[in-house]
Amino acid sequence: MSWISSKPIPVNERLIVALDVPNIPAAKELVRQLGDSVIFYKIGLELFMSGDYFELIDWLNEQQKRIFVDLKFFDVPATVGRAVKQLSNKKVDFVTIHGNNAIMQAAAEQKGELKVLAVTVLTSLDRGDLDDLGFKCDVEELVTSRAKRAIELGCDGVISSGLEAPGLRNSLGQNFLIVSPGIRPVDNRPDDDQKRVVSVEQAFHNGADHIVVGRPIRDAENPRQAALDIQETIKAVFE
């Protein structure tokens, strides 16, 4: 069964490129390289620690790009709520949170126009990693449980591997966002830390609304062409 998203999202905004680079100049250079081939960008912890994170947010807004702040807020619920409220005053589209019911509820209550995405299970984790963390349930069961609670508490969607997306759609419907990282247009490299991966087509047929792609674009011989190729694949899925 296909779970292709029917949400009114422009096709060229379904691709989110991860700016997983060491500093702000490198991030800006990649954005310039990609030009109009990419509209939506994810900026995470590495860039946050490099300094001038919010200057980059302002610059991306000047370039008329959409922005996904991926800092996976996890702290005392009141602190997370205040952090989300601060971020809601910026021109940002998505933010990630990680944690229990109280954390998710605090974030949802302060989000304003910002869309809050709850992390389910990182795509770098497999069954063995979950055993190490003390989770004895099935991966899909854990993802569905976390997603259900996040939606009930007011979050706008979840971060989930495309592998678990069909189960989420089947159990919870279409009225929330699924953003899927761990996208690999080609076979994984031996040094790749992503374990639960899917292709572009599989992610969308499984129910993802957006995909996050990093290395397959960033490390390509021609990043702009790599992005354009993925955009063409996405376009074909939604035609």
The first and second tokens of residue 156, run together, are 């706008």
What average pLDDT does this structure show over 43-59? Answer: 95
d(CA 113, CA 76): 22
Q: What angle do CA 205, 73, 13 make, to 5 degrees?
A: 35
Whole-number pLDDT of residue 192: 45
* Domain of 233, in residue numbers: 11-238
Confidence of residue 238 (pLDDT cuts 50, 70, 90): very high
What average pLDDT does this structure show over 21-34? Answer: 97
> What pLDDT digit, counting tens, does each position of 186-208 carry?
554 444 445 457 899 999 999 99
Domain membership of residue 215 (yes or no) is: yes
Domain membership of residue 134 (yes or no) is: yes
Domain membership of residue 1 (yes or no) is: no
Q: What angle do CA 38, 6, 125 make, to 5 degrees?
A: 65
Domain membership of residue 2 (yes or no) is: no
Express as a percent the part of the chain with pLDDT over 90: 76
Confidence of residue 129 (pLDDT cuts 50, 70, 90): very low
CATH code at position 216 = 3.20.20.70
The first and second tokens of residue 112, run together, are 């304003």
d(CA 165, CA 209): 10
The interaxial angle of helices 101-109 and 139-152, nearest 10 deg, is 40
Domain membership of residue 149 (yes or no) is: yes
Domain membership of residue 64 (yes or no) is: yes
Could you tell me what percentage of the chain is helix, strand and coil, using 3-state DSSP and rounding each to the nearest 5? 45, 15, 40
Question: What is the pTM for the complete model shown?
Answer: 0.89
More confident residue, 211 or 142: 211
Domain membership of residue 110 (yes or no) is: yes
Residues recognised as catalytic: 72
> What pLDDT digit, counting tens, does each position of 81-106 carry?
999 999 999 999 999 998 889 999 99
CB 41 within 8 A of CB 56: no
> What pLDDT digit, counting tens, does each position of 156-191 carry?
999 998 988 999 999 999 999 999 998 976 554 444
Domain membership of residue 20 (yes or no) is: yes
CA dihedral 33, 36, 41, 43 (to 10 degrees): 30
Whole-number pLDDT of residue 143: 77
Number of domains making up the chain: 1
